[in-house]
Amino acid sequence: MIFNVAQLMKSPFGSGAASEGDIHEEQVQLDKDFKVIGPIDGHARMRRVNQGLLVDGWVDLTLELECARCLKHFEQPMHVKFEERFYPTVDVVTGTPLPPIDEDDVFPIDEHHQVDLTEAIRQAVLLAIPMVPLCKEDCAGLCAQCGHDLNLGPCDCDEPEVDTRLNVLKQLLQNEKQS
């Protein structure tokens, strides 16, 4: 996911200079916490802006996630959009180092005038992962007592285990029924 942007950086700001490229990467591991299954495909557009580049685009990928209810691993296809700013670390004409940009949300254009989209895409994918990943919307989860996967059918447990602190409420309900 590396693009050479030397020619684009030589274009004057305000000229409307832009460049586009397709993304296709096989066997990419973006993060240790999730596994990418298959290739990452997408498209990126790079536009010359004041002090650097504005890069936007999208990627399609499939992640292996763990269901928050039944703990099974499942494949989650995703379409993730991204938009980030990239600033040069060296002057494209003279090759002299430039002062660092004092902003947290920017990415560097390296000394060889290359833009590496890997980190920008990794961050966009992390933000796109659901907070509670589910293998299916109506996943029944696991039995709290025996751990049986309730998606496969009901378990053999007699009665759900109730917190003993709730016995007072149970007695109130029984008293109300008797009155």
Q: Are strands 2-4 and 114-116 parallel, antiparallel or unpaired?
A: antiparallel
- How many C-beta atoms surround the C-beta of residue 44 within 10 A? 21
- Structural domains counted in the chain: 2
Q: Is residue 45 part of a domain?
A: yes
Confidence label for 62 from pLDDT (cuts 50, 70 and 90): very high
Q: Strand (E) positions, 96-157?
A: 106-109, 114-116
Residue 115 shares a structural domain with residue 55: yes
Q: Tell me the residue range of the domain where 175 lies.
A: 142-179
Q: What is the pLDDT of residue 159?
A: 67
pLDDT tens digits, 79-88: 999 999 999 8
What integer is the mean pLDDT of 46-73? 93
- pTM confidence score: 0.77
Question: Cα(55)–Cα(117) distance, rounded to whole angstroms?
Answer: 9
Residue 179 shares a structural domain with residue 113: no
Residue 119 shares a structural domain with residue 62: yes
Residue 122 shares a structural domain with residue 47: yes
Beta-bridge partner residues of 139: none
Residue 151 shares a structural domain with residue 75: no
Residue 49 shares a structural domain with residue 111: yes
Residue 106 shares a structural domain with residue 49: yes
Q: Is residue 9 part of a domain?
A: yes
pLDDT tens digits, 155-178: 888 766 667 788 888 888 888 888
Question: What is the Cα Rg of the chain in Å?
Answer: 26
Residue 34 shares a structural domain with residue 111: yes
Confidence label for 23 from pLDDT (cuts 50, 70 and 90): very high
